[in-house]
Structure 1
Amino acid sequence: MINIGINEQDRKEITAGLNQVLADSYSLYLKTHSFHWNVTGPMFTSLHQLFEEQYTELATAVDLIAERIRALGSRALGSYSAYAALTGIKEDHGITDANEMLSELLKGQEVIIRNIRSLYPLVNQANDEASADLLTQRIQTHEKTAWMLRSLLAV
């Protein structure tokens, strides 16, 4: 039995939300990595490097999110099918245009931002400061990345 000051129902709801963020983050990781491999054009070098920085950051993030889920006593999802069933991030279906890649990654970042933001009322009500801290760090990273992608797209 887990006795950390957060009741079982709140822990289950929080971890369901964190598993959503995990699914979104892993899906965006895969998409970003694919774009890293497949980008072409005059911005190849800069985008190849940018996408590598982004997927590397996401790889670290999925580990932190999964470990928080485990600390709360739930199972962290770990399969493509589980992620695909939850995520709102569309898979890469052969995009080759660099601007379209940037636009798709921006949409993915914004999906994650919205999903993270929706968890705040629950973690605050449960006094789950550790999850709130993780979510705050994630939202800061995703908002900064979204800003950079918007800047590259000039939107």
Structure 2
Amino acid sequence: MPDINAIGLHESSASQLADKLNTLLANYQIFYMNVRGYHWNVKGQQFFELHTKFEELYTDLLTKVDEVAERILTLGHQPVHAYSDYVQMASIEEDKNVQDGEACVRGILKGYQVLIERQREILSLASDADDEGTASMAGDYIREQEKTVWMLNAYLG
């Protein structure tokens, strides 16, 4: 069975999933830096509350960056690791010089919208490929991030 990789998946499916995961990885990296920038630069009456929340979010994003990259490796492929590639591959754009707390939260909501959309696509592909590991990861991320989106929207009123 030369078309089967080390974890028992068809190589064509693993390759397609690795490509989608690399795009997800690029989006996570850009989003991570955006949220890190919001943490550093937010100003205003909600500074303490938002500064703390943004740190919580970027810490979680950094964990997910590592998990996505390791999943790509598990599939037998190489994660993209150059920031110039991330900028080219990502749908999330760099968000520079944002200081207003509400604008930061809106930027985070836009970022999660992109991640959730990409992860739903990956979940579907992984399910079709019988890739429980990738499907489980994507499903867990979607569930967590949908709750965060709800909370951030509630914060904005």
Q: TM-score range by the shorter chain?
A: over 0.9
Aligned-partner Cα distance in 1 for 2:154–2:18: 34
TM-score by length of 2: 0.94
**Structure 2 residue aligned with 1:16, among 15, 19, 24?**
19
Residue 104, structure 1, aligned to residue 107, structure 2: yes
Could you tell which deviates more after superposition, 46-55 or 110-119?
A: 110-119
Aligned-partner Cα distance in 2 for 1:10–1:109: 26
Q: How many residues are aligned here? A: 154
Gaps of 5+ in 2: none
User: Share of identical aligned residues, percent?
Assistant: 37
Deviation per CA, 1:1-49, whole angstroms, max 9, x where unpaired? 7332211110010011111111111111100000000000000000000
**Structure 2 residue aligned with 1:54, among 57, 64, 67?**
57
Residue 153 of structure 2: aligned partner: 150
Aligned pairs (5 A) from 1:56-71: 56-71=59-74
Aligned-partner Cα distance in 2 for 1:90–1:152: 23
Aligned-partner Cα distance in 2 for 1:112–1:87: 10
Aligned pairs (5 A) from 1:124-139: 124-139=127-142
Could you tell which deviates more after superposition, 88-97 or 107-116?
A: 88-97
TM-score by length of 1: 0.95
Residue 39 of structure 1: aligned partner: 42
Deviation per CA, 1:102-144, whole angstroms, max 9, x where unpaired? 1011000011001110122211111000000110111112112
